[in-house]
Structure formats: C-alpha cells, structure tokens
Structure 1
C-alpha cells in the first residue's frame, strides 16, 4: 500500500498557493535571495534589518525636522529685522513730531497760539 501525502494546491495560473501568499516568498522572487542564501531569507536576520531600518527612518526624520526648523528660524530673523527697521523709523518720526516747534505748527490750525513769556506763580493772601 502507498502512504498518504499532502499535495500542493495548484492555482489556475500554474503557481502553488504558498508562493503567492507569503511575504517572504515574494521577497525571495523579487530579490533572488535563494542565489545568495541558498534556501531563502533566514528569519534570524529580520530583527536586525528591521532595527536598522527603524534607526534610518528616525535619522531621516530628524534631518528633515532640523532643516525645517532652520528655514523657520531664517524666516523669523528676516521678519524681526523688518520690524526693527519699522520701529526705528516710527521712533524717529515720533521724536520729530513731538518737538515744540512742530507741535506749535500743528496747533496753529486750531487757533491756539504759543506762549512767548514764561509762566508765573499766583500767590494769594488769606
């Protein structure tokens, strides 16, 4: 008598079901790993590879974040320089417009005249 054995199921396209569904089998087909390792991807190499990929992603994210921060700092520095120039201009205009001669010119339009003599103290006797 013959022994019972399991048969691989064959799909319509001629490939076995194990080669279609497995992630490692797809990687094996694409990267041709069997030529390097002989059998397939050894599972003992997966955790170090995943760890290295994770560290690489953190490194890339950190570089992108730092470059974005540098761009923002540069933009803010330009904005501060513009605001500093505006403040200096406004202070100069304020100092000029608050001079006594400039104030006198502005209040002449309202009919108020500048006093030519100094103020004096009024003393009353009780």
Structure 2
C-alpha cells in the first residue's frame, strides 16, 4: 500500500499582492480627487451608471410581476381545466339513454323508447346527384 504524503502547496500567482495599506492609499487618492468637487468629466459616466441602475431595478420588478402573473394564470387554467373535465363527465352521464328515460318519466311526458332495430338509409349514386342539385 502507498504511503500517505501531504499535498504540495499551490503556488501563488506571481504579481503584486494588494495589501490593506494600498487600498487605503487608493481611497485616499479618490478623496483628493473629490476634495474640490466632482470633476465634470466624470458626470456623464455617473449619469450613465445611475440610469443603468434604475433600468436594472425596474427590469427586476417587471420580471417579478410577470412571474407572479404567470403563476396566477397557471392556477386559473388548472381550475378551469378541472371544471371542464367535471362538467364533461356530468354531460356524458346525463346524456346516457337510461338517464334520459329517467328524466322524461320524472316530468311525466308522453315519450317512449323505440323498440325497433336501427337501420341505415343508403342512397344510390344517381339519387345522390339528384339531391345535390
């Protein structure tokens, strides 16, 4: 069995490492720029960033409202679909011949069920042409 050996440390990238002091120096330089007011050449960039930020916020609010509306519509569609299927089943049940007979008997109408066999009426070709004219 092989021996466990410690991993070699990952070599750090060569280059300048920023320390806390260099960050403070950078902030201090920015302070010296703004000391006498904001330079006018930065104003268009700041306005662009502000407009971009407002656009980003508005877009996120719009997306959230669209998601809420989509969820609401999906639940409504599901409710309508269930209503449709339940009514379809009710209609299929109520249109059965036995159910129609029960409904007619309850209303005491003088309808009765035919006992004759069903048959098809077939037309000959020359009769079909005469009926179309």
With structure 2 as the length reference, what TM-score do the two structures score?
0.60
Task: Give the corresponding residue for 2:110.
Answer: 112
State the 4+ residue runs in structure 1 displaced beyond 4 angstroms: 33-36
The verdict on how the C-alpha distance between 1:120 and 1:87 changes in structure 2, with shifts beyond 3 A counting, is: closer
Aligned length, in residue pairs: 89
Q: Which runs of 5+ in 2 are unaligned?
A: 1-29, 120-133
Task: Give the corresponding residue for 2:67.
Answer: 70
- Whether 1:43 aligns to 2:52 is no
* 85, 88, 92: which one aligns with 1:95: 92
Task: Give the corresponding residue for 2:55.
Answer: 58
Q: Which runs of 5+ in 1 are unaligned?
A: 1-32, 122-126
Q: Deviations over 1:28-86 (max 9, x none)?
A: xxxxx976533111111111000000011111111100110000000000000000000
With structure 1 as the length reference, what TM-score do the two structures score?
0.63
61-70 vs 38-47, which moves further? 38-47
